[in-house]
Amino acid sequence: MFLSRRRLILIGTVAIIGGVIILLPLILTLTLPDLNKVNITTNKIEFNGLIEKNNTVLLNLFFNINNPTSQALTTSKIDYTLFANGHSLGDHTIQYLDTPVNGRPQLLANRDATIQQEIKVPITDEKLVTDLRNNNKTLQNIDWKIQGSAIIESGFSSAIKNFTSSW
């Protein structure tokens, strides 16, 4: 008989594997929650010093990531541009691409997570350097803005979340 029991099992197995391969991209996107609910803000910016000879400022940036979803998430990379009083202070990156998933920052369900980075920022704007010196090297009277994007991951899927934050 042409359709023996073994052939039916083989055809069924091949059909199931083919269906999984074809539907895999759809299955993977089902694991990611609505990223419009996830909120990335600047928690604070700390002044760690000014290197006078080359006008380089040492800053400590704290990002707050609010995850109001019912699913734990993680991030592998945050790219952002830092602005002070409307002037760009350059592009910066926080990345965990070479870190295993269990070592990356965990964005637990219905919780906030803080990600910190210390950066060195060369400042060419003399007015900003003067503002820092006149404010006793604090960050008062400076309008900070951060524009960027973060790669948010969950399970087998990831998506880019764009954000803008002021401090």
Radius of gyration for the chain, computed over Cα atoms and rounded to the nearest angstrom: 24
Summarize pLDDT for 102-146 with one digit per residue, the tens: 788 889 999 999 999 999 988 887 877 777 777 766 677 788 899
Tell me the CB-side half-sphere exposure of residue 139, using CA atoms within 13 A: 18
Summarize pLDDT for 146-166 with one digit per residue, the tens: 999 999 988 777 889 999 999
For domain 33-166, which architecture applies?
Sandwich (2.60)
Q: What is the pLDDT of residue 118?
A: 94
Average pLDDT, the chain: 86
Q: Is the pLDDT of residue 31 over 80?
A: no
- The residue extents of the domains of the chain are 1-30, 33-166
For 91-97, what is the mean pLDDT? 91
Give dist(CA 165, CA 119) in Å, integer: 17
The structure's pTM equals 0.78
Residue with tokens 């998506």: 159
Q: What is the pLDDT of residue 32?
A: 77
Q: Is the pLDDT of residue 13 over 90?
A: yes
Residue 91: closest CA among 102, 80, 104: 80
For 35-55, what is the mean pLDDT? 87
Sequence-ordered alpha helix ranges (H) in the chain: 5-29, 126-134
- More confident: 68 or 101: 68
